[in-house]
Amino acid sequence: MPINHKYIPSLSSLLTFETAARLGNLTKAANELCVTPTAASKQIKNLEAFLNTQLFIRSKQGVKLTPKGEEYLSGVVGALEILASSSAQLDDDADAIALNVEIGSCFSHFWLLPRLDDFRNTHPDVPLNFVINNERNIGDNSDYDIAFFYSSIDSINKNNHLLFAERIILVCSPAFKDKYPQCTDINALWRLPILQLKEPLAFWEGWETWAKLYDVPFQEPQNVIQVEDQVSVIQAALNHAGIALAWDWQVRDLLQSGQLVAITTPVDFDKNAFFLSLSEQSRHPAARQFIDWVIGSERVQN
């Protein structure tokens, strides 16, 4: 049966619709698609006129799908995925090229690897190459497809997608808390075993900046255990060695499982954040799929 072209809108309008629905904001969609907000808005209006259907409810906060819009989105995403897959299959080199993902050790250990099977189930044909790097500067993107960065909050743009806001919490194991019940007393904190990085990166937040934002006087800890990296900090806390300063996304699953307990409420910092960055040089057909999967998985967690 021939395809009825009468009911096929333009590809650009479908891409704008999918992006706006995913991001919930026309300006963000325009930035991702490298067009002006006016152009993105016009694409949506043209699509709604073509379908004779309202797809979005617009407000100052952004856009929200109507029930018909939600129904249409399901079909559009499916069609775009089929198109992307069919196009990738025509690329003779597509199967041979791995998606190069540069990540920090904590993101790998505590977030990505425990969830990776979900991505493999939905994208079994995408070869992946993970490289651990905690110190690359955002924007230095010549040899990866996607990278995970800790950077200034001002780094957000069409290629740099904010993944985790910076929120710091103090944690320890239940056994440590039982042994040192005074650990919940902030004034006693500095006399208890504290876990610290041996050589912390200069731009990372630390115990002094945490104390300042938490509004408690900082004191030089009297019982410090130094370790090589942040993964070791959290592993040491799991093994009852002391109190760890951690970002909330690093320990979320461990807190939910009861392997760690929080001894303070989270503190929000507003200077830096954690990003997924898409290299401007990347042409890998699965790069956008991987970023969408990570961001979608994190939204489900929240």
pLDDT tens by residue, 122-172: 888 888 999 888 766 655 555 788 999 888 888 777 788 899 999 999 999
Q: What would the CATH number be for the domain defined by 98-160+273-301?
A: 3.40.190.10
User: What does the pLDDT read at residue 54?
Assistant: 94
| Mean pLDDT, residues 46-75 | 91
In the chain, what are the domain boundaries? 5-89, 98-160+273-301, 165-270
Q: Which CATH number among 3.40.50.1980, 3.30.1360.70, 2.60.200.30, 3.40.190.10 corresponds to the domain 165-270? A: 3.40.190.10
| Mean pLDDT, residues 75-101 | 74
User: What does the pLDDT read at residue 96?
Assistant: 57
3-state secondary structure 114-171: HHHHHHHHHCCCCCEEEEECCCCCCCCCCCCCEEEEEEEHHHCCCCEEEEEEEEEEEE
Q: Cα(47)–Cα(146) distance, rounded to whole angstroms?
A: 32
User: What type of residue sits at position 76?
Assistant: V
Q: What would the CATH number be for the domain defined by 5-89?
A: 1.10.10.10
- The pTM of the full predicted model, rounded to 2 decimals, is 0.65
Lowest average pLDDT, out of 200-204, 229-233, 261-265, goes to: 200-204
pLDDT tens by residue, 286-300: 898 999 999 988 876
The pLDDT-based confidence of 94 (bands split at 50, 70, 90) is very low
The rounded mean pLDDT for the chain is: 87
